[in-house]
């Protein structure tokens, strides 16, 4: 009867193994096949087929639940804020000069009163 033992690697050794295997492929069949490469025409067709989809209310609530509890770090928020500042330093905001209709103004007013 043979005794089977498992080798126990230290954290340092596991880290070294991970570094040494970076960039290697587990199988030559899957080598360099990370994702599909589509032609421009196919990408355009896929984009058009997905445009205008209407989600059910159940699907919308499931999407909403999936993002609940998702927090963005302060560093990421600062990057986003700076990106907006840089963008609008060279571009005109699309809503500049536009007027809201009376009904829209009433709805916004009601929403502010609820807060």
Give mean pLDDT, residues 68-90: 93
Residue with tokens 């069949």: 29
Task: Compute the distance between CA of residue 115 and CA of residue 111 in angstroms, rounded to an integer.
Answer: 7
pLDDT tens readout for residues 31-73 = 665 667 788 899 999 999 999 899 999 999 999 999 888 889 9
CB 51 within 8 A of CB 44: no
CB 27 within 8 A of CB 19: no
Task: Compute the distance between CA of residue 86 and CA of residue 78 in angstroms, rounded to an integer.
Answer: 12
Percentage of the chain exceeding pLDDT 70: 86
pLDDT tens readout for residues 6-23 = 788 899 998 998 888 887
Angle at 106 between CA 100 and CA 110, to 5 degrees: 130
Q: What pLDDT score does 4 carry?
A: 62
pTM (2 d.p.): 0.36
- DSSP code string of 75-107: HHHHHHHHHHHHHHHHS--TTTT----HHHHHH
């Amino acid at each position: 009867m043979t005794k089977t033992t498992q080798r126990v690697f230290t954290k340092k050794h596991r880290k070294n193994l991970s570094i040494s295997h970076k960039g290697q492929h587990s199988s030559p069949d899957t080598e360099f096949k990370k994702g599909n490469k589509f032609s421009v025409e196919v990408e355009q067709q896929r984009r058009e087929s997905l445009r205008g989809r209407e989600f059910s209310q159940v699907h919308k609530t499931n999407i909403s639940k999936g993002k609940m509890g998702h927090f963005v770090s302060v560093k990421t928020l600062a990057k986003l804020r700076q990106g907006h500042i840089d963008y609008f330093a060279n571009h005109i905001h699309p809503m500049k000069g536009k007027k809201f209709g009376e009904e829209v103004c009433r709805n916004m007013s009601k929403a502010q009163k609820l807060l």
